[in-house]
Chain A
Amino acid sequence: MKYFMIAIVCVLCFLLPFFVGAYLIHVLTSIMIFLSLALSWDMMLRTGQLSFGIAGFFGLGAYASIIAVDDFSIDPLWSILVAAGFAALIALALGWIVLRLREIYFAITTLALSSVFMIFARNLSDLTGGSAGKVLYESIFKGDSIKIYWLVLSVALTVILVSELFQRTRIRFAINAIRDDEIAAKCSGVNIFKYLLFVFVLTSAIQGAVGALYAQQYAFVEPESTFSANFLLLPMSMALVGGIYSSLGPIIGAVVLGLASEYLKLIMPYGHLIIYGLILVLTIMFLPRGIYGTVVNRIAAKR
């Protein structure tokens, strides 16, 4: 019954463009982009490692995709896979080094990645267009918003599936053990470095693919916009508001914050960002486990 309901929801999501207008489609597409980033951040967080590298790998994927299309005439769809692969390769090389660090040292190092990638993007002018960035004359599917929605939805569903696989296979035991107590996990035979590297590479590949989607949707990359902290802070906020260490939490957070942001703008053209910020602060203060975590806790307490 549960799987039947999930299948119905998925089908409804695919059929949605036939019932709503271009604006809502656009908003939902953006929500799914940030949802995928939020989930990927949460997947890494489940290992106990706080990564701030989302915006960096997002931007890396975006650049890889635009360069693949513009300079190597690769099909835009394939360029998304190229971007994911490129982000994964870079993550593999960097992960070898940075995953030997822990806690705040790991977090700060990953935070610096975004700046380092941006400096490369700005200075490799022949390849990246330098500080002015690079544009494509046409966006993917010739800008057809419904096809773009379906593509982003497919990627978001794949990310949700991967996140659920993390929760339902033995990977979950390994990463939970690493998060709870690394020494105990090591004594139990868990290859910590291997698992951390696997999760880091996988989540970076997701971030790269999502960056590529974004770049192909809008047909441009530009250092400041593409490596913007917005692609780090918003997904983190979504995961925190929805609830961390789960698949449903970041999904709820992304939908709630994504829709709230647009709704507030509709009813309050000026000052909506203040209310939005207030909602964020209050949610994190009064629901520290996030919406999903709080609901789960309340249900468990009643039982």
Chain B
Amino acid sequence: MKRLFVVLMALVVALGFASTIKIGAVLPLSDITGRQAANAMKLAVKEINEAGGVLGMPVELFIVDDEMKPEKGAAAIDRLATVEKVDFFVGGMSSGVHLAQIPILKKYQKITVWIGAASYRCEEAIGPDADWYFHLHPWDYLQGESYAHGWRAITQKYPQVKIEKIFIAYEEGAFGTSSFKSYQDEFELAKKGTGVWAGLMKDLKGAPFKSAALGGGDYRAVLMQAKQYNPDLFIWAGYDADAIPILIQAKEIGFAPKLFVGAPPGWPADFGKNPLSHGVILYGMWAPALKDVSPIARHFWDAYVKEFNEEPATYFAPLGYTNIMFLIEGIKKAGSLDKDAIIKALREIEYDSPVGGVLKISPSRIIKNQGFRAQKILQWQNGVQHVIWPFEYQTAELIYPFPGWTGK
């Protein structure tokens, strides 16, 4: 009798442990990107559970705020692994936070599907042996390569567009400096006739500015340099706080390059409502207009708005949704919770993502499991972000040249 009781208890405990699939997410919840990614993950989990879960089990999502602090992000991994005892890690945003999480992730070696952290230093820190690590966001160097592919395609489709002289106005911090450096490296290769910008970029110049986000906000000097240089393509790499002041000051000094590109990690809310935004080009993984050309993007948009009564404003929303759906598709294909089977399945599946594009895993410079490899080229047109490239997701024709400031 006693033995039977012990066996029954063991069975109950075993079933109890196997009754849910636990996913642990780490995101910066005080930031709109993290908050919307968390919402999108909850939406994905809700849809999965409403459809009967996966492998007959419901999915449970635990979200921990990393507060954008490395030590907090690292402690969150320990908490999810040992307190909530999750089976998988997802999430991510800042590279600085992720660098601190990597030693902890290596300790647990659970399957991790990460949507943030673009710095190549994170890839170096993860190293080539982490089979369990899947990185969905394009690394910084992949983004740089994708812009070249995009501009090349645009110059072919629109022969009037020239990308020979490029000027980069970059914020003096890590983000801006590394952006400029990657262009410099590519320019050196282009001069030798190699690299992705070969035959496209003939000359490059750059100048730093202090971002309004870090106490600066006067761009006149750098804009004057750009004006004198008269580039075909002008790019500013700063933060959202720079977006409107840089346009106002460009108008003030009468600087209207043929292509005016902004490359901040995020744009200010309602930037599109500012009339100066018309014709500004941006790089991004996603645009709301994608819902007009992609059924999965439409589904995500409608479901998100219905669930949270707000519109997704950042690409981390569809990316957060993709994060969960991709992992669940992998588990479904694997047919079990066996780690090796899931890793194999994740490498094989193709997931049509609301980010716009089919997510498929392939190796990058160091890691074996890289997801997306490209950003998109978008353009603000009458307050709406439109996709210009890739052409299969194009939602509007390119406005060229930049319409300038007349009447604005």
Cα distance A298–B65 in the bound complex, in angstroms: 38
Known: A137-B125, A219-B125, A224-B96. A23 touches B177 (CB 8 A): no
Interface size on A, residues (CB 8 A): 39
B173 / chain A contacts, CB cutoff of 8 Å? 122, 131, 223-224
Known: A135-B99, A218-B99. A22 touches B81 (CB 8 A): yes
Which residues A199-245 have CB closer than 8 A to chain B? Answer: 214, 217-220, 222-225, 228, 230
B79 touches A23 (CB 8 A): yes
B121 touches A132 (CB 8 A): yes
- Within the complex, the shortest CB–CB distance from A146 to chain B, in Å, comes to 11
Cα distance A25–B83 in the bound complex, in angstroms: 12
Cα distance A214–B100 in the bound complex, in angstroms: 10
Interface-facing stretch out of B101-109, B330-338, B372-380: B101-109
B103 / chain A contacts, CB cutoff of 8 Å? 138-139, 143, 217-219
Q: Is A269 an interface residue (CB 8 A)?
A: yes
What is the interface of chain B mostly: helix, strand, loop, or mixed? Answer: helix
A230 touches B69 (CB 8 A): yes
Partner among B74, B78, B83, B124 whose Cβ is within 8 Å of the Cβ of A135: B124
A269 touches B29 (CB 8 A): yes
Cα distance A269–B61 in the bound complex, in angstroms: 13
B71 / chain A contacts, CB cutoff of 8 Å? 30, 33, 214, 218
Q: Is A272 an interface residue (CB 8 A)?
A: yes
B127 / chain A contacts, CB cutoff of 8 Å? 137
A269 touches B78 (CB 8 A): no
Q: Is A265 an interface residue (CB 8 A)?
A: yes
- Within the complex, the shortest CB–CB distance from A209 to chain B, in Å, comes to 17
Known: A30-B71, A269-B29. A132 touches B78 (CB 8 A): no
B79 / chain A contacts, CB cutoff of 8 Å? 23, 26
Cα distance A262–B178 in the bound complex, in angstroms: 34
Partner among A222, A228, A230 whose Cβ is within 8 Å of the Cβ of B99: A222
B107 touches A132 (CB 8 A): no
Q: Is B160 an interface residue (CB 8 A)?
A: no
B178 touches A26 (CB 8 A): no
Q: Is B174 an interface residue (CB 8 A)?
A: yes
The residue on A at minimum CB distance from B175 is A131
Q: Is A27 an interface residue (CB 8 A)?
A: yes
A223 touches B75 (CB 8 A): no
Which residues B225-279 have CB closer than 8 A to chain A? Answer: none
- Within the complex, the shortest CB–CB distance from A178 to chain B, in Å, comes to 34
Partner among B29, B82, B121, B174 whose Cβ is within 8 Å of the Cβ of A21: B82
Q: Is A129 an interface residue (CB 8 A)?
A: yes
What is the interface of chain A mostly: helix, strand, loop, or mixed? Answer: helix
Which residues B28-43 have CB closer than 8 A to chain A? Answer: 29-30, 35
Q: Is A145 an interface residue (CB 8 A)?
A: yes
The residue on B at minimum CB distance from A219 is B103
Write out, one digit per residue, whether chain B residues 94-118 have a CB within 8 A of any chain A CB (1) or not (0).
0111011011101100000000000
Q: Is B64 an interface residue (CB 8 A)?
A: yes
The residue on B at minimum CB distance from A276 is B67
The residue on A at minimum CB distance from B176 is A131
B119 / chain A contacts, CB cutoff of 8 Å? 132
Cα distance A23–B106 in the bound complex, in angstroms: 15
- Within the complex, the shortest CB–CB distance from B347 to chain A, in Å, comes to 24
Q: Is A17 an interface residue (CB 8 A)?
A: no
Q: Is B63 an interface residue (CB 8 A)?
A: yes
Cα distance A22–B96 in the bound complex, in angstroms: 22
Q: Is B70 an interface residue (CB 8 A)?
A: yes
Partner among B63, B65, B174 whose Cβ is within 8 Å of the Cβ of A222: B174
A269 touches B99 (CB 8 A): no
Q: Is A133 an interface residue (CB 8 A)?
A: yes
Interface residues of A (CB under 8 A from B): 21-23, 25-27, 30, 33, 122, 129-139, 143, 145, 214, 217-220, 222-225, 228, 230, 262, 265, 269-270, 272-273
Given contacts A225-B70, A265-B64, A273-B30, 9 further A-B contacts (CB under 8 A): A23-B78, A131-B175, A132-B178, A135-B121, A135-B125, A222-B174, A265-B65, A269-B29, A269-B63
18 A-B residue pairs with CB within 8 Å: A21-B82, A22-B78, A23-B81, A132-B120, A133-B121, A137-B127, A138-B103, A139-B103, A145-B78, A218-B99, A218-B100, A219-B102, A220-B100, A222-B121, A224-B96, A225-B100, A270-B35, A272-B65
